[in-house]
Structure 1
């Protein structure tokens, strides 16, 4: 298990010497500080490892934190509650709040350290938040080399303005994307084990089952059932880094461990047990 231990963001190198992935390769951590000592500054760290990334169990920080992974799911545990955020979301943590965040293997994770909150999250302690496509692109740019400090500080303001509340309930306008399928997908991303049927989602949205199914195919190229299965299996890969197979099967919505093993093996070509041991 790769553990990125608790540290205090500074302008110098942050990664402890013992932060090593399970495979034994040195973790990749690129750090970019932009006026880090000022209220309007920020530090962006980009992580990648051949093993799973775990941002310390019971972690507590002195600055506000944003975690973002454009290529996969992140599993967040504020206290004892588990939730996931997708590529169009961030995991937000106010300073001083105990939490842990886990990502799968070969997954880029951006960790942003801030002295002030995004305007839309001033009353939020921890949890998922939406991020607009422009803000996501700017965040990725800030996690690369060659950005002049003055430009970076301006981009930071646009990133914070592009982060907003995200809703588990199917009310109001979705933060990211459009259409009925996107709203259902956002809700399911937070809880892949949600057993709600397509018919029930359609009823909540006041649309026909046919309309919602058609919108899933239009948005994702998959039916509702296919998309939900894919989401559950992707979430299970994150959970397998810290939980036994039987518990993972239950948490992602499978009625039996055997059914989960069959689906996982069909999707990834390896059993959950071998995935966990690798």
Structure 2
């Protein structure tokens, strides 16, 4: 049985580390360590704070309207204040949520964006989320973090207006949240109170794919986000493959190269 989300149980473990929080040029780092629930941040907006989400030991799934992205452990999500977005972990993992009231224009021009910061920026944020850091050290790190984020490649997460929640879209959204969900087409149809043929036709109409191909594509895109921090075998199981060999074959067919080329050591924290 999959773990519940923090929203399901109504609470989440959090450690907070603030530096210079009186003036507008302070920084607050909230660290959500791995616990018994999957960390999730439901769709909403903050009109006072810019935020950066980062998981050093897992992947995040981000949704903005009908736009969804998987983020690896080497990427971060920038969210300008007032932007509506939903963030969720793909497992029991650490999530760091960095909050600032002021940020450079090179960042605030993005409503929401996937950033690819340097290892040094990732290490700086991790270093702030620990006891024993002085106010002066924290504020110096803030300046270096924002400078590093400004220099990072950024891919805007566009807001696609939400479409009516058809059966096909309900299935796709559920699979993005849990790519390893083993539910088959017939069982999905039963849950959604439609026939399997009706559900299959709806998926083909909405996405131009069969159910099996849609599920495979979602699983493989989640795998791209997981591979920087997990082994090929762990990634295969995390996205729903019964064996590493089946995963390697599917990945290679889709991307033209083996998943091993995406592997790299995770950033410890």
Normalised by the size of structure 2, how large is the TM-score?
0.57
In the alignment, the residues of structure 2 paired with residue 155 and residue 105 of structure 1 have an alpha-carbon distance, to the nearest angstrom, of: 29
1:184-214 Cα offsets, whole Å, 9 max, x none, are xxxxxx9xxxxxxxxxxxxxxxxxxxxxxxx
1:143 to 103, 108, 129: 129
Structure 1 spans left out of the alignment, 5+ residues: 6-17, 21-26, 170-189, 191-235, 273-278
Q: Partner of 2:237 in structure 1?
A: 268
- Larger relative contact order, structure 1 or 2 (CA cutoff 8 Å, min sep 6): 2
* Backbone CA RMSD of aligned residues: 4.0
The aligned residue for residue 24 of structure 2 is 39
Q: Provide TM-score, normalisation by structure 1.
A: 0.56
Once residues 143 and 269 of structure 1 are traced to their aligned partners in structure 2, the CA distance between those partners, rounded to angstroms, is: 27
Structure 2 gap segments, 5+ residues each:
158-173, 189-202, 224-232, 242-269
Shift of 1:82: 0.8
Identify which of 151, 157, 166 aligns with 2:153.
Answer: 166
Partner residue in 2 for 1:2: 5
Q: Which residue of 2 aligns with 1:229?
A: none
In the comparison of the two structures, how many residue pairs are matched?
187
**1:101 to 1:246, Cα distance in 2 relative to 1, 3 A:** farther
Give, in whole Å, the separation in 2 of the partners of 1:113 and 1:54: 17
Corresponding residue for 2:58? 72
Instruction: Give the direction of change, closer, same or farther, for the CA distance of 1:112–1:242 in structure 2 (3 Å limit).
Output: farther
Match of 1:28 in 2: 13
Looking at structure 2, the residues matched to 157 and 2 of structure 1 have their Cα atoms a distance apart, in angstroms, of 33
Deviation at 1:256, TM superposition (A): 4.5
**C-alpha distance in structure 2 between counterparts of 1:243 and 1:30, whole Å:** 31
